[in-house]
Amino acid sequence: SHLPLGTLHCIAAWFDVAFASSRGGIEGSANEEEGMTWPQGVVLSCAPWEDRTHWKHTLFFLNAPVSVHRGDTVLGEIILTRNRFHRRHFRVKISLTTKRKHEKSGNAERQSQESREYFMWR
């Protein structure tokens, strides 16, 4: 039998946002002739491997921990819905399925399935 290799407690989330410049540095443009240059755009990220920002990561804890084994596959879907009255309020629905290969046949079989909704207010 497989012994658990680890336990899945939550899903971590972060974001990247890219702002394209409406005044891109086009060669020969008036701003370039005046000695002014504009950035092509800016990317802001709160990914764990980027420099720290005032934005934080978000953890979505599961209803119950899930044992995972080497070779397991975790599939998921995240649906983010904005509140129609309050633009900074969101509903997040996360659905996960963990699949494990059968030891003898090698065929995938479903181990567990979970769905949970979270409400975010900012």
Tokens describing residue 39: 């950035």
Please state the domain extents for the chain.
9-61, 64-122
Q: What are phi and psi of 66, to 5 degrees?
A: -120, 125
Q: Residue 93 is encoded by which pair of tokens?
A: 């629905």
- Asked if the model's pLDDT at residue 26 lies above 50, the reply is no
Six-digit token string for 98: 């963990």
Q: Which of 1-5, 26-30, 53-57, 72-76 has the highest mean pLDDT?
A: 72-76
| pTM check: above 0.85 | no
| pLDDT for 94 | 93
